[in-house]
Structure 1
C-alpha cells in the first residue's frame, strides 16, 4: 500500500495530463479531471505526512531495484510537509484559474490543464526523489510545463519575458547536469543517501567545489541574490494564477533542493559564512527593489526574492533551531505568497491596471479583498499572531542562540527587511484600497467565475491562518523534521538498508 502512496503524487498527475489532452474538446471535463486529481493527490500527501511522522522515512524502490543502483522515492517529514502545503495551494490556484476563465469569457485554453498537471507532477517528483539525476528530471519537467503556462496567449512582451525565464533555467540546468557529472565521477553514485556517506570521504577542495556548484544551481532556481535577476522580469508578465503558483512553488522547490543537498551531502557543525552573506544580500536587495517598484506584480516579485533570505538565514546556521525556522517559514511563505498574487490578480482585474498610480485613482475594490490582502500582507510582514510572526520568531531565536557578529548582523538585516516589507505592503494598500474617484466597469465582477476566484483566494489566505492557528503542533513537527535533516541516519538507513520501511510499528521519534 505504501508504494502506491509514494508514487501517486507523480504518477496520477502525469496520467491525468495525458487524459486531459484526450478530452481537449470538453473544457468541463478538463476542469473536473484536474480538480479531482489534485484533490486525490492532496489527500495522499496528508496520509504520507502522517505515516512519515509516525514511522520515519518511507521508501519505494522503483522496479524493485535496490538503492543505490535503482531509483528510490523517499518520503520523510520535510518532503511530505512541503508537498502537502504545496498541493493545497496548487489546488486553490487551479480553482482560481478555472474561475478566471469563466469570469473573463475566454475560450478553453487547451494546453493549460495538461501543463498545470505536469507542473504538479514535477513538484511531487522533486520533493520525493532520492537521487540527483531524478531531481534534475523533476526540474526539467517543471521548466517545460511552466514555459507553456507563462506563454499562454502571450504577446511580444510576455514571450520576451518567457525567453528570459527559459534561458536562465536552461543555464542552471546545464550547471546542474555538470554538477551531477562531477559528483558521479568523484563518487560513482548519484543516490542522495549513498552520497551522504561518500562525499565526506573526498578532499576538502573537491567537497568545497561541489558544495558551491550545487549552491549556485539551486540558488538560481530559488532566486537567491545575486542570482535572482530573472524572476522579477518573468513572473509578473504571466496571468495571475500562473504567477501565483510559480511564485509559491518553484522557488521553494529550489530551496528544498538546497536544504536537502547541503545538509545531507555536506554536513557542517558551524555557520557557513558564504550562505550568511547571501542571505543578508537576498533580504536587503530584494526588499529595496520592491520599494522602488510602481507595478504591483513586480513589487510582490521583489518581496518574494527578499523573503527567500529568511529561509537561507535558517539554513546557514546549521542548527536544529535554525532549520526549524526555515521549514516553518517555507510552509508559511508558500501559502501567503500565493494568496498575495491571487489578491493582486483580483485587484488588477477590478482596476484595469497593475500600475500603482493608476490603481490609486480607481475606486477601491470590495472590502472582502481589502481584508484578504491585509491578512496576507500583515502575515508576510511578521505581525503577531499571524504565521509570518511565528516563523520569524523561530528564526530570530535561533540567531540569538547562535550568536556571533555575522549572525547578529544578519538578524539586523532580517528585522529591517520586516519593517520595509510592512512599508511596501502599505504602499500597495494606499494605492489599491484607499478611496479613488474613477469607478471601473463592474461587468467583469459578475457571475460564478468571480465567486470561484474569490473563494479560492479565501482558501489560500486560510491556509496561512491555519498555519498560525496550529503553530504549536506545526513547530514541533518542523523541529522533528529539522532533527531528521541534521542527523541523517534515519534517511540513509531507510534508503540503503530498508530497515523497517514496511513495519507499521516503526517510529521515527
Structure 2
C-alpha cells in the first residue's frame, strides 16, 4: 500500500502570509538608512571631505522619512511591521505610534542641525577617527529605541547608542575627555546591565518580550506576579539613563568634556531616550504599579528639578551649567510621569520635544559664543553683545525658552505640568516646577549679563584671547542655531499643533488598545 503524503502544515498560525505592503516599510527605513550610511562612511573613512555632505544629505532624508511616518500615524493610527514574517509575539516588532514617531522626528531635526554645525567645527583628525559614522550609528540607536515594539530590542538599541556615544565622547583623546568618558561609561554600563537583568526577569514572568503582548497580559497577571518588583527595577534603570536624582551625578561630570557638537547631541537626545523608555514601560505596560510608585517618582522629580537648577546657578563653566539644566528638565518630565493624568503626560511629551530642540540649540550657541570670546567661562567671556548683536539676541531668546518664560516654547509644557500638579492637589510638586524655573531664570540671566551684556575690559588691562580654533579657521555657521531658534519661537507663538500631538500621544500611552490592535489585529483585547 502506498504511503500517505506528508501532512499539510498550516503556516498561517505562525507566519504572515501576505507580502508586506510597500507603505509599511517606512517604519524600518529610518533605522536602515542610519545603519547603511554609517557603514558607507566607514568604507570611505580615508575620504573625509565626503563625510559631512553625505551625513547632512542622509539626515535630511531621515527628517523626511520621520515626517512621513508621523503623518501616517497621525492620520491612520499606530501600525506594526514584524521582522521575518513571523507573527507577533514570536517575531521582532517595530511599532510606530505618536509618542515614538514625534520624538524620532524631533531627534532627527536636532541631529541635522548638529551635522551642519560640525561641518566647519570638526577637525580632519576627528573625521578620520569616525565622528560622522559614530553620529549615524548613534541616530540608528536613538531612532530604533523610539520605534521598537520589543522590550529586549529596546535594550539592544540602548546598547547601539551607548557604544556610539563612547566613540564620540573620546574624540580628541584629551585627559579631560578620557576622565569624562570613564565616568560616563561606568554609570551607563551599570544602567544597561540592570536593564538587561530586569528584561530577563520580565521574560521569566510573562514568557514574551513584545510590548503589546505584555500590556495585555499585565492586568491578568497582576495579583500573582511580582510586577511591583519589575516596575521598581525598570524605574531605577531608566532613571540612571535619564540622569534623574539620585543617580544623576555622571552627567555633569561628563557632558562638558567632549566637543561642543557632541555635547549638543548628548544633551538633546540621549537623556530623552531614557525618559521615553520610562514613559513607555511605566505608563503603557505597568500603569497600576506606576500609580503605586507615583510618590517616589514625584519626590525624585522634585529633587532632580531643584538640585539641577541649583547646580546650574553654581557653575562658572557654561557647558557644566547647561548639563545641570538638562538634569532639571528631566525632573520636569518625570513630574508628568508621576502625576499620570492625560494632561500631565501630554505636558511631559511636549516638554521632551521642546528640550530636544532647545538643549541642542543652547549647546551649539554656547559653542559659538566660546569661539567668539575665546573662553568657556562666565569670568572669561565679556562684551559679546557689542560685537555680535544678532547672535546675542538669538541667545537671549534661547535663554528665555530655557527658563520657561513666555512667549517661547518652554513656557507651555511647564504651564501644563504645573496645572496638572495643582489639579491633583500636589502643590509641593507644582511649587518645585516653579521654583526650579525661577532659579534657572536667575542662572541664565546672570550668564547673559556677564558674558553678553557686560562691556569688555579695555584691551590694555586684560590679556589678549584668541578665538578658539575650528576646522576651517572660522566659527561654525549659525544657520542651524538660527533655524532651531526659529522653531522655538514658532512653537511658542503657535503651540496648538504640538499640544494636539502631545495630547493624542498621551492618550495612546494611557489607553494602549489601538497600539495593541496594530500588533494583534485579530485578538487585541483577549
What TM-score comes out, normalization by structure 1 length? 0.93
The residue that corresponds to 1:394 in the other structure is 416
Measured in 2, the distance between the counterparts of 1:351 and 1:363 equals 11
Deviation of 1:412 after TM superposition, in Å, equals 0.6
Match of 1:288 among 297, 306, 310: 310
Kindly indicate whether the alpha-carbon contact (under 8 Å) linking 2:120 and 2:472 is maintained by their aligned counterparts in 1: no
Measured in 2, the distance between the counterparts of 1:126 and 1:390 equals 26
- Note the alpha carbon deviations across 1:226-272, whole angstroms, 9 max, x for none: 11010001110011100001110000010000000001111139571
The residue that corresponds to 2:512 in the other structure is 488
Deviation of 1:41 after TM superposition, in Å, equals 1.0
Measured in 2, the distance between the counterparts of 1:445 and 1:180 equals 44
Query: Helix, strand or coil: the match of 1:231?
Result: coil
Matched, 1:326 2:345: no
1:348–1:4 distance in 2 versus 1, CA, 3 Å: same
The residue that corresponds to 1:467 in the other structure is 491
Kindly indicate whether the alpha-carbon contact (under 8 Å) linking 2:318 and 2:377 is maintained by their aligned counterparts in 1: yes
Deviation of 1:453 after TM superposition, in Å, equals 2.6
Kindly indicate whether the alpha-carbon contact (under 8 Å) linking 2:120 and 2:471 is maintained by their aligned counterparts in 1: no
- Note the alpha carbon deviations across 1:149-203, whole angstroms, 9 max, x for none: 1101121121011011111111111101100110001111111111112233134
Of stretches 386-395 and 430-439 in structure 1, the one that deviates more from structure 2 is 430-439
Measured in 2, the distance between the counterparts of 1:40 and 1:499 equals 36
Matched, 1:48 2:73: no
Match of 2:198 among 171, 176, 179: 179
The residue that corresponds to 2:167 in the other structure is 148
Measured in 1, the distance between the counterparts of 2:471 and 2:258 equals 23
Deviation of 1:469 after TM superposition, in Å, equals 3.5
Measured in 1, the distance between the counterparts of 2:471 and 2:257 equals 25
Q: How does 1:86-485 map to 2 (within 5 A)?
A: 86-101=107-122, 108-200=127-219, 201-203=221-223, 206-268=226-288, 272-360=294-382, 365-403=387-425, 407-433=426-452, 434-437=454-457, 438=459, 440-441=465-466, 450=475, 452-485=476-509
Kindly indicate whether the alpha-carbon contact (under 8 Å) linking 2:238 and 2:275 is maintained by their aligned counterparts in 1: yes
Kindly indicate whether the alpha-carbon contact (under 8 Å) linking 2:30 and 2:65 is maintained by their aligned counterparts in 1: yes
- Note the alpha carbon deviations across 1:351-380, whole angstroms, 9 max, x for none: 222121122488865112211211111011
Query: Helix, strand or coil: the match of 1:100?
Result: coil
Deviation of 1:3 after TM superposition, in Å, equals 2.6
Deviation of 1:455 after TM superposition, in Å, equals 1.0
Q: How does 1:3-18 map to 2 (within 5 A)?
A: 3-18=24-39
Measured in 1, the distance between the counterparts of 2:172 and 2:105 equals 31
State the superposition RMSD in angstroms: 2.1
Kindly indicate whether the alpha-carbon contact (under 8 Å) linking 1:363 and 1:436 is maintained by their aligned counterparts in 2: no
Match of 1:65 among 83, 86, 89: 86
Query: Helix, strand or coil: the match of 1:237?
Result: coil
- Note the alpha carbon deviations across 1:334-364, whole angstroms, 9 max, x for none: 1111111111111122222212112248886
1:498–1:257 distance in 2 versus 1, CA, 3 Å: farther
Kindly indicate whether the alpha-carbon contact (under 8 Å) linking 1:350 and 1:445 is maintained by their aligned counterparts in 2: no
Query: Helix, strand or coil: the match of 1:228?
Result: coil
Higher relative contact order (CA 8 A, sep 6+): 1
What is the aligned residue count? 494
- Note the alpha carbon deviations across 1:117-142, whole angstroms, 9 max, x for none: 00000001000000111001101001
- Higher helix content, 1 or 2: 1
Kindly indicate whether the alpha-carbon contact (under 8 Å) linking 1:126 and 1:135 is maintained by their aligned counterparts in 2: yes
Of stretches 212-221 and 355-364 in structure 1, the one that deviates more from structure 2 is 355-364
Kindly indicate whether the alpha-carbon contact (under 8 Å) linking 2:370 and 2:467 is maintained by their aligned counterparts in 1: no
If you compute each CA radius of gyration, which structure gives the higher value, 1 or 2? 2
**Unpaired stretches in structure 1, ≥5 consecutive residues:** 501-509
Kindly indicate whether the alpha-carbon contact (under 8 Å) linking 1:290 and 1:424 is maintained by their aligned counterparts in 2: yes
1:421–1:65 distance in 2 versus 1, CA, 3 Å: same
1:447–1:230 distance in 2 versus 1, CA, 3 Å: closer
**Unpaired stretches in structure 2, ≥5 consecutive residues:** 1-21
What TM-score comes out, normalization by structure 2 length? 0.90
